[in-house]
């Protein structure tokens, strides 16, 4: 997998990581915090420091729920969810990279699943 640059993450996310004042309200709000190896506030810090590779290999990118609690409560308008998304799409846009393949689907399906779930999961996990 080819590591993208911090500038590319900033461009895709539209986030200016310099605005972060490291208060930690994103990580205080995140409902997926305990599932993540790299936490929302660290995403901002890693991008600011140009350290993108660990982010691209992080399981956090499949754990973020896009629930926007971090966006809502950030006092500096930094939008951590957009940075996590930018890292995720930077992985998925590369040839052969996917978090969810069509082959695993039959095993994951159950009869009650709404179409919305399948659609959302494909949009988030596959290109």
**Contact string (CB under 8 A) for another protein, positions 45-84, x = contact:** -----------------xx-xxxxx-xxxxxxx---xx--
The conformation of residue 4, written as its DSSP 8-state character, comes to P
Helix (H) or strand (E) holding 32: none
**Contact string (CB under 8 A) for another protein, positions 18-47, x = contact:** -x-xxxxxxxxxxxxxxx---x-xx-----
Whole-number Cα distances in Å, 97 to 36, 56, 80, 90, 93:
20, 11, 23, 10, 7
Rounded Cα gap, residues 93 and 127, in angstroms? 6
Choose, by CB under 8 A, the member of 3, 48, 97, 125 that binds another protein: 125
- Is residue 17 part of the contact set for another protein (CB under 8 A)? no
- Is residue 101 part of the contact set for another protein (CB under 8 A)? no
Of 81, 91, 22, 21, the residue nearest 55 (C-alpha): 91
Choose, by CB under 8 A, the member of 1, 49, 108, 126 that binds another protein: 108
Phi/psi region, residue 114 (left: phi>0; alpha: psi -120 to 50; beta: rest), is beta
Q: Which residues bind another protein (CB under 8 A)?
A: 11-14, 19, 21-35, 39, 41-42, 62-63, 65-69, 71-77, 81-82, 85-86, 89, 99-100, 108, 110, 112-121, 123-125
């Amino acid at each position: 997998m080819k590591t993208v640059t911090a500038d590319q993450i900033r461009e895709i996310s539209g986030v200016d990581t310099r605005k972060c004042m490291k208060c930690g309200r994103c990580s205080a709000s995140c409902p997926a915090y305990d599932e993540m190896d790299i936490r929302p506030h660290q995403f901002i810090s890693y991008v600011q420091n140009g350290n993108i590779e660990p982010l691209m290999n992080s399981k956090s990118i499949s754990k973020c729920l896009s629930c926007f609690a971090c966006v809502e409560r950030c006092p500096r308008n930094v939008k951590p969810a957009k940075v996590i998304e930018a890292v995720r799409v930077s992985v998925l846009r590369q040839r052969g990279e996917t978090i969810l393949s069509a082959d695993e689907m039959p095993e994951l399906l159950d009869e009650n699943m709404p179409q919305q779930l399948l659609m959302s999961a494909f949009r988030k996990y596959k290109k």
